[in-house]
Amino acid sequence: MHDPRIIVALDFSSAEDALKLARKLKPHLCRLKVGKELFTATGPQLVEKLMHMEFDVFLDLKFHDIPNTVASACKAAAHLGVWMMNIHALGGRKMLTAAREAIPQSSNTKLIAVTLLTSMDQSDIADIGLQGKPEQIVMRLAQLAKDCGLDGVVCSALEATNLRQQFGADFCLVTPGIRPADSQVNDQKRITTPQQAIENGASYLVIGRPITQASDPLLMCQQLNSEIANLM
């Protein structure tokens, strides 16, 4: 059974563009992430289409609201049959627990919590009044997610080494902010190369623009997969 480590972020504004890219890729090489832009534009039908193409789908809607609202949203997402979904750890213990309890035990959907967005660094943390360094905040929020029974977290691969050590092999570390050596950083701040991410213990690498904007997305995905395979 294949367990691709790359999750391609389908950050597109239409189903047509998303499907065009998905048709170039292969389910044994990558999983796909549907985020706020694409889901808002296309709704659950596109998620169903991608699953029908045998891709595992990570529904990245980063729910953050009162516990009852988040719990109901998580229940609806689990009902779609997605492989993974996320909520914001900053929603706090009651919200995380309500979300966990809302997903039926019979469901295989993984529930993970976003810790500190990879687009944020120390100055952004100061702006919103959080205390500590990024790695301390991420550790604190990951501990909260673990305590509430979640399957893992979204973090930067820069923090993965400590989290892997603290929470063990089964805790899922999903790492965006992945940038191959020669690609543009864009709006990301806490970045690593794919190699660093794997070496630091990341479970899955979320990669958007370096694959979606590549002249040959399939080739880029294949190359990254072989680099990852060489390290494992």
Ligand X SMILES: O=C(O)c1cc(=O)[nH]c(=O)n1[C@@H]1O[C@H](COP(=O)(O)O)[C@@H](O)[C@H]1O
Q: Does 175 bind ligand X (CB under 6 A)?
A: no
* Rounded CA separation 143/58 (Å): 22
Applying CB under 6 A, among 38, 117, 150, 173 the residue interacting with ligand X is 117
Applying CB under 6 A, among 59, 98, 114, 148 the residue interacting with ligand X is 114
Q: Please indicate if the annotation marks 189 as binding a ligand.
A: no
Q: Which residue is nearest to ligand X (CB)?
A: 208
| Largest CA-CA distance found in the chain, in angstroms, rounded | 45
Q: Does 34 bind ligand X (CB under 6 A)?
A: no
Find the catalytic residue in 60, 110, 146, 151: 60
Q: At which residue do the structure tokens 């998620």 appear? A: 47
Judged by CB under 6 A, the stretch of 75-83, 137-145, 200-208, 215-223 that binds ligand X is 200-208
Q: Does 67 bind ligand X (CB under 6 A)?
A: no
Q: Is 187 a catalytic residue?
A: no
Applying CB under 6 A, among 6, 11, 99, 141 the residue interacting with ligand X is 11
Site residues for ligand X, 134-163, by CB under 6 A, read: 154
Applying CB under 6 A, among 4, 134, 194, 208 the residue interacting with ligand X is 208
Q: Does 30 bind ligand X (CB under 6 A)?
A: no
Q: Does 9 bind ligand X (CB under 6 A)?
A: yes
Instruction: Cite the active site residues.
Output: 60, 62, 65
Tell me which residues touch ligand X (CB under 6 A).
9, 11, 35, 60, 62, 86, 114, 117-119, 154, 176-177, 186, 188, 206-209
